[in-house]
Amino acid sequence: MSKKTEISEGTLLELYGSPEVNPSDNQTMGEIISQRFSRRGLLKGAGAAAAIAATVSPMALLMADEARADSKSSFNFKEVEAGVDDTHHVAEGYDADVLLRWGDPLFPDSPAFDPANQTPEAQAKQFGYNNDYVGYIPIDGSSEHGLLVVNHEYTAPLLMYPKTQRESADSALQKQLADIEMAAHGGTVVEIRKVSGKWQVVKEGKRNRRITANTEMIVSGPAGGNERLQTIADPSGTKVLGMINNCSGGVTPWGTYVSGEENFGNYFKGKLPVGSKEAGNYARVGLKEKPDYSWANFYDRFDVSKEPNEANRFGWIVEIDVNDPTSKPKKRTALGRFKHEGAFATLAKDGRAVVYLGDDTQGEYVYKFVSTGKYNPDNRAANLDLLDEGTLYVARFEADGTMEWRPLVFGTGPLNATNGFNSQADVVIEARRAGDLLGATKMDRPEDIEANEVNGKVYVMLTNNKSLKSDQVNPANPRPNNKFGHIIEIAEEGKDFGATRGTWEILLKCGDPSIADVGASFSTETTKNGWFGMPDNCAVDSAGRLWVSTDGNNLEDTGRTDGIWAVETEGSARATSKLFLRVPVGAEMCGPLMLPNMETMMAAVQHPGDGDWIDDTRSNTFENPSTRWPDFKEDMPPRPSVLVITKKGGGKIAV
């Protein structure tokens, strides 16, 4: 520890090197891959491209090496042309309609969107900003009438507000802008219905709801009430205002909405009081002295010098009971605290609830939670607290192709007082450090993780690892500054999602397969439009087919915008990918979601216009964005929106 009288960002850097770097010496996935395939002898005499090819399964290798005239894609649609422009494009024969835009009214008394005259009160009754996760909860089992649930991850003031407002010296106005941003965060629950072949919002829906950064929530599970979550405003440690930076999420078998808080460290400022025991904890989760938001200028709870425990109240999975719009959302601390990307919920063979979880930072871990109690399909109320008690596991991948889930349980192995853990509350609050001590495998930004309930596999989206240095490369991972990411496929033992062991393969190494040094492993049936980089979210449809959306494709690295690709996982077409939908310039593709009858897909277009690809003279501001999608009106800024995709004339998608 330095002799500084306060814990500063500099001290945090001394402790860990960087708030965003995993300090443990646990093995990386690249090292595991290298060991695995070196042991098999597959790399002897191989060049870099062949070495990368060896990281996929033997079946994928066979497909890449042989002519496969008999291969046939299970996805029946004409592929979209990859590229970059100011609007979205979907496969021929399909409609991709805008269902909801930032600012759209959600209630009968919601005001119309007026971008030049926004207020916090109006935003709290309108669709929020930067829609990410999209989920659907049927009403009476219908695929044409249900509740849409959407996360609102973050805000972008440059694109949201006119220059005269965002650069004003008026502190009252700046507080109002911060309040608008807080109201634009969180989530939306809104009733939707398909009428005459087109989906529409039901503003009169009794369960419509906005959750914001100021919605009162309950902290439940092992950390609820713990002294490390107690604050001046909440000495009980069981109540918190709001959820922030909610990225992906999920829908539980009992019909609730679960949402993951991701980059919560971006909201807090200040220096911890002298002697604070949270210094190492906050360094490990990436808190920084200078935040990306101004909220701490107006609300003490976001200043750790005044409320040193407040940051421990974020970084959780939040569960919302959509059937009761007056219910308080619950932060389920049993599922651990880290930068949550998603929360895919399913069931073990014995009926226990299982939630797969990714920690979206380079070098962080893959987790899953298995409940103690069992799901009761005949008693919804009995399921509402299943996520408060159970076992949180972290993944360890071995070089021989096996993997295990190691329990993060207080008193087990190194998770004891000697290492600073005095209760299960400490374990879940510092889940990352617990994973370090258990020898979890460092991963290349674990984002969405989804279980395929048709074939029993689990797909892990690993977006990239740009921190990889030249002296860290190896024959199976020869890409320093790895930009493109990959997808891992886990087979749980006995096809049981509650298992503690399994095997793993790499389904796909991403990037341009025409460039040998990239080492991508798409099948040879994949066209110039079908390959992609930076896998982020994914969905498995009712037929067990995988759909992947991306975040980070750009003109320099891939020459294309983000989008949704259909990816084959079975048979002779395995590792073949086709482009189904692409987004406008600067946007990220979030979702996707296929409704149970497979006649509707939904997806979220996040931060459109936040890119300079079309016209380098543009500055990507409210006044001069790179696109004005989806309204294309001079008085409207670009607006994050949810798309609904249907086949012209009706029918199942891509069948």
Helix (H, G, I), strand (E, B) or coil at 567: strand
CB-based contact 595:136 (threshold 8 Å) = yes
Q: How does pLDDT run across 337-380, given as a tens digit for each residue?
A: 999 999 999 999 999 999 999 999 988 999 999 999 999 999 99
pLDDT of residue 240: 98
Distance CA 512, CA 517 (A): 9
pLDDT of residue 61: 41
Q: What's the number of CA atoms in the CB half-sphere (13 Å) around residue 400?
A: 4
**Mean pLDDT of the region 414-430:** 98
pLDDT of residue 548: 98
CB-based contact 426:354 (threshold 8 Å) = no
* β-strand partners of 198: 195
pLDDT of residue 231: 98
Q: How does pLDDT run across 34-52, given as a tens digit for each residue?
A: 666 554 433 333 333 333 3
**Mean pLDDT of the region 129-146:** 98
Q: Which residue has the tokens 């609007």?
A: 87
Distance CA 644, CA 145 (A): 13
429: left (phi over 0), alpha (psi -120 to 50) or beta: alpha
How wide is the angle at C-alpha 419 spanned by C-alphas 418 and 424, nearest 5°? 100
Radius of gyration of the chain from Cα atoms? 24
pLDDT of residue 33: 67
Helix (H, G, I), strand (E, B) or coil at 182: helix
Q: How does pLDDT run across 383-392, given as a tens digit for each residue?
A: 999 999 999 9
pLDDT surpasses 50 at 325: yes
Bond into 592 cis (ω within 30): yes
**DSSP line for 252-296:** -TTS-EEEEE--GGGG-BS-BPTT-TTHHHHHHTT--SS-SSSGG
Distance CA 75, CA 83 (A): 21
**Mean pLDDT of the region 467-473:** 66
Q: Where does the pLDDT of residue 95 fall: very low under 50, low under 70, confident under 90, or very high at 90 and above? A: very high
pLDDT surpasses 50 at 296: yes
Helix (H, G, I), strand (E, B) or coil at 243: coil
The strand ranges marked E within 14-124 are 89-90, 94-101
Q: What percent of the chain has pLDDT over 70?
A: 88
Among the residue ranges 203-217, 315-329, 396-410, 636-650, the one predicted with the least confidence is 396-410
Nearest 10 degrees: Cα torsion 247, 27, 16, 293: -10
Q: Which residue has the tokens 């399994």?
A: 502
The strand ranges marked E within 416-515 are 443-444, 446-451, 457-462, 486-492, 501-509
Find all residues with CB under 8 Å of 438, minimum gap 6, and list them: 394, 396, 406, 408, 413, 414, 415
Where exactly are the structural domains of the chain? 9-443+456-647
**Mean pLDDT of the region 276-283:** 96
Q: Where does the pLDDT of residue 554 fall: very low under 50, low under 70, confident under 90, or very high at 90 and above? A: confident
pLDDT mean across residues, the chain: 90
**Mean pLDDT of the region 315-324:** 98
pLDDT surpasses 70 at 144: yes
Which phi and psi (to 5°) does residue 458 adopt? -130, 130
Strands 546-550 and 317-320: what pairing?
unpaired
Among the residue ranges 24-28, 85-89, 245-249, 603-607, the one predicted with the least confidence is 24-28
